[in-house]
Amino acid sequence: MTTAAARMKELVETLTQASRAYYQEDREIMDDRRYDQLYRELEDLERQTGITLAGSPTITVGYEALEELPKEAHEFPMLSLDKTKDIETLRSFIGPHRTLLSWKLDGLTIVLTYENGSLSKAVTRGNGLVGEVITNNARVFANLPLKIPYTGRLVLRGEAVISYQDFAKINEQIGDADARYKNPRNLCSGSVRQLNNEITAKRNVHFYAFALVSAPDIGFEDSHEKEMDFLTDQGFQIVEYRVVTGDTLDAAMEYFSAQITEHDIPSDGLVALYDSISYGLSLGSTSKFPRNSFAFKWADEIRETTLEEIEWSPSRTGLINPVAIFSPVELEGTTVSRASVHNISILEELELGIGDTIQVYKANMIIPQIAENLTRSKNLTIPRICPACRGETQIAQDTDVRVLRCPNPDCPAKKIKSFTLFVSRDALNIEGLSEATLEKFIGRGFLQDFADLFAIGQYKDAIIDMDGFGEKSYENLMENLEKARTTTLPRVLYSLGIPGIGLANARLICRHFDQDMEQIMGADEEEVSSIDGIGPVLAQNLTAYFSRPENKELWERLRQQLDIQSEKGPTDNTLEGKTFVITGNLERFANRKELKELIESKGGKVTGTVTGKTDCLINNNAASNSSKNKKARELDIPVISEKEFIDTYAPEAADTQ
């Protein structure tokens, strides 16, 4: 095999892997700029040699449909668009022809079919020939008309997208930083291709039409613009466009260039389409590209800067991800100083070294990336020590890339959930410490255990310089930490994350042992299990936890940082020995927690399940056939309303309700 043929084979394999990861697995192993470079190299080699290998991405389109959704062949096959980043190439394509210049939206292309005025089918683009049927999901797109005035058979294409604003909101709701979506396109792809359209409905997916494929018996005066007007009349939102010629292109480009930085709908470029339908059809197509349209991708704004550091950031999965820290530069209107390098394979491909001159840009004008390393010193050393736990690291092969891992099962970075529980409202209640922030602190080695949170001030300068922080955020954090120092023993016991020990159980345990942690740590299973409401399983979990010397040492370190005050016991003991279950909607109390706290303040207990030990079920709808009501009737347990509870057990609360 010649050198050129061998290189072509390598390029086909590399580009195919990148496409499969991006389109089918919603993950990124190569940025767009690198993909385009390799794609152009493959095109050049194919032209030089006259050889096109089977499976080459230059003759295949898109991704294969997944097995989980039904597949269907497209009635009208779809081709990709030829593209350029050069405005003069775009101008040459447009020439004197009246042309529609529109956003090239970055979501998931969908083909819709309407019959008798109703949506009958929705299919993803797939590989251009076969797509996935997602009709039920399309029915819950936020802006899609399910019925339209036109009663003939209508076929159209458009892009399903999720706005940057909705993308940010959805990611904020995902507590697990590793589970968050990397960009709106990945989120949209996952949302549209769901098996359960309830999930799709919650994602606020929008559809923007960009092409009418078929509408028999309707005349459009040989104009694609008239087709867009028709789709608008049918109730569809269409992609924004401008009508241009080569002579008027500059004004439209200035408009789109100014809009892209504030455009809430993801876009990775523009599409030019000849307005004349007949002229466009007369041009035909190549094996891959139609000749009536052309894509323009934004030329990346590239800045040179100096690589100052590689920060190795551990995560809860055990991966330690490299992040490039470089001298700050202005890109697309914002100052950036860091960019993810993703994994060791990319780091080695770029041959990075401290002090190297690198070129950086924002992929799709959003995500900072390294475009090129101009000096390639290769002077980096892969860390042998995890920055979070100081244990030895391992280099591993993860599918098609090399990654750095921490194999230590007790690494603090893997215990991010434990830290998240520790700072939660019912535990130490430390505001301003999201899971993402905790992960950053752990990744930088600031936190080894819970006690370290209260000594975080020693890293003031580094915290203020972190993304998303600043002087004010740091001051707020320190104030919240100071407030959290004053707490109660049940909150601390709950915050340790002992399996099964919730706040209510922690209160029972602390009351039994007179708010004395030394007694709790020294108790045996038999004594703990004798506490009403605890039982043998929780007793075993508690004693097993404190049987480990490292957990006792953790408590000692933590105790020195806290001002633990006695929790107020019951204001009276009128409900001591009584067990209640609360269900249904409440009217006199703000929520179940408020009623539960009242019961506990009087020495009673609240559980979630009706059993033979339950004294009363509190439910304002005593006649309902809920499972708890049925169980109460079977066991001859009284079902009482809030009013009846107050009248019988807490008359002093009547005046406040």
Catalytic residues: 104
Closest to 438 (Cα-Cα) out of 461, 460, 421, 425: 421
Using the 8-state DSSP alphabet, how is residue 632 labeled?
A: H
Distance, in Å, from the CA atom of 577 to the CA atom of 182, rounded to the nearest integer, reads: 52
Amino acid code (one letter) for 47: R
Structure tokens that stand for 288 in this block: 């891959």
Closest to 326 (Cα-Cα) out of 365, 361, 363: 361
Torsion of CA 308, 312, 313, 319, to 10 degrees: 150
Distance, in Å, from the CA atom of 460 to the CA atom of 442, rounded to the nearest integer, reads: 15
Distance, in Å, from the CA atom of 349 to the CA atom of 298, rounded to the nearest integer, reads: 25
Closest to 398 (Cα-Cα) out of 338, 340, 317: 317
**DSSP secondary structure string for all residues of 548-594:** SHHHHHHHHHHHTT-EEEPPP--S--TTTT-EEEE-S--SSSSSHHH
The alpha carbon of residue 141 and the mean position of all alpha carbons in its chain are separated, in whole angstroms, by 19
Amino acid code (one letter) for 152: G
Beta carbons within 8 Å of 628's beta carbon, 6+ residues apart = 581, 583, 610, 617, 619
Cβ neighbours, 10 Å, residue 591 = 9
Distance, in Å, from the CA atom of 476 to the CA atom of 462, rounded to the nearest integer, reads: 16
Structure tokens that stand for 107 in this block: 């979501």
| Residues 270, 92 contacting (CB under 8 angstroms) | no
Distance, in Å, from the CA atom of 66 to the CA atom of 439, rounded to the nearest integer, reads: 33
| Residues 261, 333 contacting (CB under 8 angstroms) | yes
Cβ contacts of 548-551, under 8 Å, gap ≥ 24: 551/496
Q: What angle do CA 425, 429, 431 make, to 5 degrees?
A: 105
Structure tokens that stand for 182 in this block: 């990397």
Distance, in Å, from the CA atom of 584 to the CA atom of 618, rounded to the nearest integer, reads: 8
- One-letter-per-residue 3-state SS of 179-236: HCCCCHHHHHHHHHCCCCHHHHHHCCCEEEEEEEEECCCCCCCCEHHHHHHHHHHCCC
Using the 8-state DSSP alphabet, how is residue 599 labeled?
A: H
Distance, in Å, from the CA atom of 11 to the CA atom of 55, rounded to the nearest integer, reads: 11
Distance, in Å, from the CA atom of 74 to the CA atom of 215, rounded to the nearest integer, reads: 16
Kindly list the distances between the CA atom of residue 479 and the CA atoms of 386, 452, 469, in Å, as whole numbers in the listed order. 30, 16, 15
| Residues 210, 271 contacting (CB under 8 angstroms) | yes
Kindly list the distances between the CA atom of residue 227 and the CA atoms of 23, 83, 213, 516, in Å, as whole numbers in the listed order. 30, 24, 9, 78
| Residues 357, 364 contacting (CB under 8 angstroms) | no
Q: Which residue has the tokens 């439910």?
A: 619
SS3 state at 176 = coil
Using the 8-state DSSP alphabet, how is residue 341 labeled?
A: -
Distance, in Å, from the CA atom of 40 to the CA atom of 31, rounded to the nearest integer, reads: 15
